[in-house]
Structure 1
Amino acid sequence: MIIRKYIVNDMREALVRAKYELGKEAIIISHKKVRPGNWFNPFRKKRLEVTIAIEEDIHEKNKTKKEELERTVKKRMAEKASPDFASKKNSRRFDKVFSNQERALERWEAYCKKNSMPQEDVTFEELKSFVGETYLENAFYKELKLSKINVFIGPTGVGKTTTIAKLASKEYLQNGQKVGLITIDTYRIAAVEQLKTYAGILGIPCETVNEPGEMRKKISRLSYCDMILIDTVGASPKNEDRIEDIKKYVDEIDGDKNNYLVLSMSADVDTNNSVLKKYKELNYDSMILTKFDEVKNYKNFWNIIENNVVPIQYFCYGQNVPEDIEESSLENVLTYLWSELAND
């Protein structure tokens, strides 16, 4: 077992350092107030001594994963910085980019004709310029910030709970925000426990709402928080009763809120179109795109940029909390897709 002691200002700092150095499986063994230094000084400010431990084999696995992640990031950054990233033409990549999407191809052909460019190949810079000039009002250009109250809706299995954990960790540990969690996903006991586990690790409050009438009371309990993240039960777009049930909970929330539709980029286009259409009943006003790490082509990208008008704030590409999430600027999304699909 590996044991580390940290002298810190608060528990948040200890958790950030421990997670970075040891991994998310590290556990707190003890903590106490101390006055640092080799001699007693009653006027010296007390700090927190936190003892944290992790099993050695888990630490080694985490170290390997961290090194692999760092190599991947460095490779992606090096690739983007190289002249080839922006200018190299590749017919295989062209097929993956446009994926037989007729509307996108028609627009691309018109763009190439206008700019006297060949149509059969595409570079990263050409793709970025094409999207930026052709889709002037696209959802990736629209900015949005987390609100005081944020509701996450979407089908089962798209990663709502994990996304909430990433955002909670990011806002609490990195940005110093007071974060509170609420779950109404009482259909799945595991989902409630998963969110409570994340809350316990972070040391932040988590409330469970069992019926719509409890919503305002539970939100009131968390009124001191800078932001509240609300997890909801997953519902197939075909399950109208479940969607109506979710609506009863959401309608009980007073004041301004962000309603995030969480959508999986690995689902087929028809399924996502059905979700986009049916979930309008819940008045979503923004989106988070997940499972970019499972994407094999650009089909959902073109479908969303052609048909969606609400802002897309984040995109996710893995299970690591809180690392695998980024703000979804057009450049971030295109860079990720271009890099990940390069060698498939």
Structure 2
Amino acid sequence: MKVQKFIASNMIEAMKKIRQELGENAVILNSKQISTARMFGLLKKKQIEVIAAVEPQPKMKDVRVKEKRKPLSRTEKKPNVRNQSLTSSVYPADEKELNNQIEELKDMVQKLSEHSSPDEYKYYPIPVQTFLDHLRKQGINGMIMGEINAKLLNDWRSENREKTEQEVYQSGFQHLKELLAGVEYGGSQFQKKFINLVGPTGVGKTTTLAKMAAQAVLEKRKKIAFITTDTYRIAAIEQLKTYSSILNVPVEVVYKREDFQKAIKKFTDYDLVFIDTAGRNYRELQYIEELKKVIDFSQDIETFLTLSLTMKEGDLADIIQSFDDIKVDQFIFTKLDETATYGSMINLIFRNRIGVAYVTDGQDVPDDIQKASAETIVKRLLKGLGV
């Protein structure tokens, strides 16, 4: 059995070294925190020392060649080769004993890591394992997992006691909020006259627009109007006209840039103009160009990219990339009530450094919409942990 010591700054780095040196069949015998001296012994750095071992894989042909058979005495019978197992004929007794010990060790390690966590963190303290496993199931990406992983382990080592589950969860909650800091959250302040919602088909743009408009009328007492460029679906126009009738506000349907300019002039005396755009496959750049031909983005405009959490994260990332030429002020995430995983919200905010204005979780106007914040988003993610 090959036994080797590894020193690393954290368990993830140690596991990578173990795999590289000993392979996937290696087992961890022991791990502990150590301090290494730096700068002539004046400063110390905390690291992890891990002892790992791997069972050598014997080559059957080589073993047979090297095996020396004892000459048979007159009283001994020739062994029945057919009924003799390969293991008993090949391995010497002391090596079989060693194999038994290794198997016992593997069973012991398995019992210590009953939680079904990935190899990178299955040897961590149980509360840390549980928290990281929850993030993994929620779809949090590897970069964020690594950040939270390192912070939680550092928190655990910083005190000379074991932390409770809730203490670990609260630490993770705070660290996730910190990762989402530095971008804008909360609903529109209605500082710009034109409120523009863009996004792919079926994400609920028209309903979300109506919810925002209702808040502007009922809570802010704003004088508003609607513009729709969604001339591809009659149902969408009728839906917006229904909302405009309920709120007692005008609506203009525009087909080209000239129509848009006319609508702007018509609504000169209005406080806010809400623009509903056509839902298209915005992974195709031609639809972005069509959008730019109709809407004058040089106006005093606030643009919200509306995305549904029921979509695959890869598709959402492609759509966001397609809007590189259009300034997106904030995201709006819809259909939170139709999914149980919220990791893509965290991933997209972190990767694109774009904040969130609203989240929606139902069809009721104007109720099923909430102003977003880093805290409310992380709480939604950690709901299963009782945070």
Q: Scaled by the length of structure 1, what TM-score is found?
A: 0.66
Residues 1:325 and 2:369 aligned together:
yes
Distance 2:257 2:242 in 1: 23
**What is the rounded CA distance, in whole Å, between the counterparts of 1:207 and 1:143 in structure 2?**
25
Gaps of 5+ in 2: 1-126
Which residue of structure 2 lines up, in the alignment, with residue 294 of structure 1?
338
Q: CA deviation at 1:304?
A: 1.3
1:115 corresponds in structure 2 to 155
Q: Tell me which residue corresponds to 1:65.
A: none
Deviates further, 154-163 or 237-246? 237-246
Q: Please state how far the C-alpha of 1:199 moved relative to its aligned partner.
A: 0.3
Q: Which moved more, 1:112-121 or 1:312-321?
A: 112-121
Aligned in 2, Cα 1:311/1:143: closer, same or farther, shift over 3 Å?
farther
Give 1:274 deviation, angstroms. 0.4
User: 2:349 matched to which residue of 1?
Assistant: 305
- Which of 191, 211, 216 lines up with 2:236 in the alignment? 191
How far apart, in 2, do the equivalents of 1:107 and 1:120 lie? 21
Q: Does 1:155 align with 2:200?
A: yes
Distance 1:113 1:93 in 2: 12
Q: Secondary structure at the match of 1:315?
A: strand
Q: Tell me if 1:104 matches 2:144.
A: yes
Aligned to 2:263: 218
Structure 2 counterparts to residues 138-149 of structure 1, below 5 A: 139=183, 141=185, 145-146=189-190, 147-149=192-194
Q: Give the whole-Å Cα distance in 2 for the aligned partners of 1:248 and 1:321.
A: 31
Q: 1:325 to 1:90 in 2, by over 3 A?
A: farther
Task: Write the letter of the residue equivalent to 2:326.
Answer: L
Give 1:218 shift. 0.3
Amino acid at match of 1:169: A
* Mapped contact 1:259–1:283 kept (Cα < 8 A): yes
Once the two structures are superposed, residues 23-48 of structure 1 have per-residue CA deviations (whole angstroms, 9 ceiling, x without a partner) of xxxxxxxxxxxxxxxxxxxxxxxxxx
- State the 1:172 CA deviation: 0.6
Distance in 2 (alpha carbons) for counterparts of 1:120 and 1:308? 34
State which drifts further: 187-196 or 231-240.
231-240
User: Equivalents in 2 of 1:120, 1:237: separation in Å?
Assistant: 46
What is the one-letter code of the residue matched to 1:171? A
Structure-2 residue corresponding to 1:39: none
Task: Assess if the C-alpha contact under 8 Å between 1:166 and 1:322 holds in 2.
Answer: yes
Give the drift of 1:187.
Answer: 0.7
Q: Contact (CA 8 Å) 1:94, 1:120: kept in 2 or not?
A: no
Q: Structure 1 counterpart of 2:327, which letter?
A: N
Cα pair 2:187 2:358 within 8 Å, conserved: no
Q: Give the conservation status (yes or no) of the 8 Å contact 1:96–1:297.
A: no
Indicate conservation of the 8 Å contact 2:304/2:329, yes or no: yes
Of 264, 268, 275, the match for 2:319: 275
The letter for the 1-side match of 2:304 is Y
Is 2:374 aligned against 1:334?
A: no
What letter is aligned with 1:130? H
Amino acid at match of 2:291: I
**Aligned partners of 1:166 and 1:323 also within 8 Å:** yes
Checking the alignment, whether the CA contact within 8 Å between 1:143 and 1:311 is kept in structure 2 is no
With over 3 angstroms needed to count, the CA separation of the structure-2 counterparts of 1:213 and 1:131, relative to structure 1, is same
Q: Distance in 1 between matches of 2:238 and 2:366?
A: 18
Aligned-pair CA distance for 1:266: 1.8
Structure-1 residue corresponding to 2:87: none
Residue 141 of structure 1: CA displacement? 5.0
Q: Distance in 1 between matches of 2:291 and 2:194?
A: 16
Q: State the AA in 2 paired with 1:98.
A: R
Q: What is the number of residues matched between the two proteins?
A: 252
TM-score by length of 2: 0.59
What is the alpha-carbon distance in structure 1 between the residues aligned to residue 382 and residue 149 of structure 2? 20
Distance in 2 of aligned mates of 1:141 and 1:163: 17
1:311 CA displacement: 2.8
Separation in 1, partners of 2:226, 2:334: 20
Structure with max Cα Rg = 2
| Root mean square deviation of aligned Cα | 2.7
Query: Are the aligned partners of 1:261 and 1:286 in contact in 2 as well (CA < 8 Å)?
Result: yes
Following superposition of structure 1 onto structure 2, how do residues 109-258 of structure 1 map, counting pairs within 5 Å? 109-116=149-156, 125-137=170-182, 139=183, 141=185, 145-146=189-190, 147-250=192-295, 252-258=296-302
State how far apart, in whole Å, the 1-side matches of 2:174 and 2:243 are: 41
Deviations 1:269-293 (A, max 9, x none): 1011101101223332222111111
Question: Equivalent pairs: percent with the same residue?
Answer: 30
Displacement of 1:302 in angstroms is 2.8
Q: Secondary structure at the match of 1:116?
A: helix
